[in-house]
Amino acid sequence: MIVSSGVLAVNGRAGANNRIVTGHIGVGGKGTGHLKSIPDNVGALCDVDALHAKKAASLFDRKLPIFSDYRRLLERKDIDAVVIASPDHWHALMMIDACAAGKDVYVEKPACKTIEEGRAMVNAAKRYKRVVQVGSQGRHHPAAAVLRKFLQEGNIGRVTRVECWHNDNPVGGDPLKAAKPPAHLDWDMWLGPAAGRAFNPDYCHRNFRWMLDLGGGQIRDRGAHVFNLISWFLGLDRTGPSRIEAKGRIPESGLWNCPTHFEVTYDFKRPDISIHWAQPGIRAADFEFGAVYHGTQGKTIVRGGDGRVFPDEQVVAFANDNEMAYTLPDKVPAHKYNLENWLDCIKTRKAPVMDIESGHRVASMCILANLAYRLERPVSWNPKRERFDRDKAANLLLGSPGRAEWRI
């Protein structure tokens, strides 16, 4: 009898009956990294850009089914779980549909584009009893575990303030580039629930990040990584700020509309903590982004926050004293650990370290900053109700209606 190479267990690889088969939605950029991290699990590919799909398929020595509509992938009974690395404005709807289809989900950060989307994602995971991991890999970096222990043991006293720095949002994009979409790209499907607009190559693929209604700028990209660690270290995964104030400059030219010189201050009541985000901010170390944790008895500087987490000397000494490893093995990306944790949790049905509730709360911080900027005034937030206090105008910005059939 002849069987395909993926069925039998070889060289430590599980056989088909034990292996979780994953479908991958969005296979360019970060999505390619996911494919390389868990290649033996991959069972299907989906991308609205045929060139992305073709390039991804070439990574494998076996033939994989390829889709341009993620709903067709979700219909497959041989797919156990899905990895979503689409643009941010697709995360919520794809995750919710996957849960409804009985699939466990790994969804890239930021978890959602709006507050209402995030809460709907949490509710879907609970309703369908799905294991959902959000792709903020910083929590799986060994240095993050050391930092968390260092802070929680009170080595700098009680943390009262965190100062974050990051390079600024870029200015650019040409609004006059509007053109017919290339034949290999399904532009209408790329837009999905986002507001309709003519194709412009300066929107995609990565450049969607610099549009407020699509990617939301650096704070919703790297900010999701930095806040992810802050939230984990300081126990903020089930709460949020009570007051947010933001300011920035409107770009004077170009297509992209995310603000420059962007600064945000978050005030928390329980616990009593202030978090300040600044672009570009004052660099506390030689790295393009990071955070300074100020405590009642000292401070510590954390460079990075995504797959790169670098503690300062006192934390390195703490790690050595406690015999804790704080660096990644050579050539092993942090998101590989993130994906492996998710696969383990699918088998055990335990909550992953970055579950959807945590991911939603972290994304909410990024979203609230942009809302405060758009409103041009401080806002008061009720983290329990997830509503603004006595502020109808602000509450109207908590969700979006979606476009055409693409509605939650």
Q: What is the pLDDT of residues 135-174, one digit of tens each?
A: 998 999 999 999 999 999 999 999 999 999 999 999 999 9
pLDDT for the residue 327:
86
**Is the Cβ–Cβ distance between 25 and 83 less than 8 Å?**
yes
Nearest to 239, CA basis, from 369, 151, 364, 144: 364
- Average pLDDT, stretch 92-114? 98
Helix axes 30-37, 334-348, angle to 10 degrees: 60
Give the mean pLDDT of 376-395: 97
Per-residue confidence band for 17, with pLDDT thresholds at 50, 70 and 90: low
Instruction: Single out the residue of 314, 324, 359 nearest to residue 137, CA to CA.
Output: 359
Q: Give which of 234, 235, 287, 280 is closest to 261, Cα–Cα.
A: 280
Write out pLDDT tens, residues 339-384.
Answer: 999 999 999 999 999 999 999 999 999 999 999 999 999 999 999 9
DSSP calls for 24-51: EE--STHHHHHHHHSGGGEEEEE-SBHH
Query: Which has more confidence, 336 or 173?
Result: 173
Q: What is the mean pLDDT of residues 231-246?
A: 97
pLDDT of residue 277 exceeding 80, the answer is yes
Please answer whether residues 98 and 74 qualify as being in contact, where contact means their C-beta atoms are separated by less than 8 angstroms: yes
Query: Residue 1 — pLDDT band, cuts 50, 70, 90?
Result: very low
What is the predicted pLDDT for the residue at 326? 87
Whether residue 86 has pLDDT greater than 60: yes
Retrieve residue 185's tokens.
């790209």
Domain layout of the chain by residue ranges? 139-174+187-329+357-395
The chain-wide mean pLDDT, for the chain, equals 94
Evaluate whether 177 touches 378 at the Cβ level (below 8 Å). no
Give the span between the Cα atoms of 168 and 278, in whole angstroms.
Answer: 8
Total residues belonging to the chain: 408
139-174+187-329+357-395, which class in CATH? alpha beta
pTM, to two decimals: 0.94
Asked if omega into 110 is within 30° of 0 (cis), the reply is yes
Model pLDDT, residue 3: 41
pLDDT for the residue numbered 94: 98
Cβ(264)–Cβ(219) under 8 Å?
yes
- In sequence order, what are the beta bridge partners of 380? 243
Give the range among 10-14, 45-49, 104-108 with minimum mean pLDDT.
10-14
